[in-house]
Copies of this chain bind each other. A is one copy, B any other.
Amino acid sequence: MTFRYPNGKKFVQKRSPSASKNVKKDERFSNRGMTLEEDINETNEYYLAHNIAVIHKKPTPLQIVNVHYPARSAAVVTEAYFKKPSTTDYNGVYKGKYIDFEAKETKNKTSFPLKNFHDHQISHMKQVVQQGGISFALLRFTLVDELYLVFSKDLFSYVENKDINRKSIPKKDIESFGTKIELGFHPRVDYLKIIDKII
């Protein structure tokens, strides 16, 4: 199930672990059809199952307007609207440290569009850095299937200037200050390996 928010951001319903077990995977092309969110969710489930870290995706924020209570069955939300998240999508704890990140994909080849980050998220990332949390973004270039971890401090200067002279971060800059994450099997996107180098 996939649709887009009014702001164009893609919404992907999280598959339940039991559902994903029933999906037959083509081992030769194991990333076919896997979104970045699915890869991260699988990775977080791996971290959790192996007592490595406790990191979850936050639920999609909805403004609930109407709820119906049928007799003898569960309450049904009959009217609700998507809200812009006021924080990043993922957070949790690793070795006592606060971990906080956002994941974004682009089909662009040579740059990452800054419109993918909205103001609330950037404010949140700054607040996390100020509190001594570990804040970063996972950025995937889907057409070449390359994933980078970029620490938030390296993003701020680009985002602050976005109304003046930049609409995107050149891919060569991301290659320079980011760290490439190779796709693995278990876990699929082992981003904590990079965090280990800074804690």
Contact = CB atoms under 8 A, between A and B. Distances in A.
Interface of A: 1, 3-6, 13, 48, 51, 53-54, 56, 58-62, 64, 67, 69, 74-82, 85-87, 91-100, 124, 127-128, 130-133
Contacts of A13: 64
Given A4-B75, A54-B128, 11 more contacts: A48-B127, A53-B131, A58-B58, A62-B77, A75-B81, A76-B81, A78-B79, A92-B98, A93-B100, A93-B131, A98-B98
B5 A75 contact: yes
| Interface pairs A-B: 6 shortest CB-CB | A96-B132, A93-B98, A93-B133, A59-B61, A77-B80, A98-B98
Contact of A62 (B58, B62, B124): B62
Contact of A131 (B87, B91, B95): B95
A165 B92 CA distance: 34
14 contacts: A54-B124, A54-B131, A58-B59, A59-B85, A60-B64, A62-B77, A77-B79, A77-B80, A77-B81, A77-B82, A93-B131, A96-B131, A96-B132, A98-B99
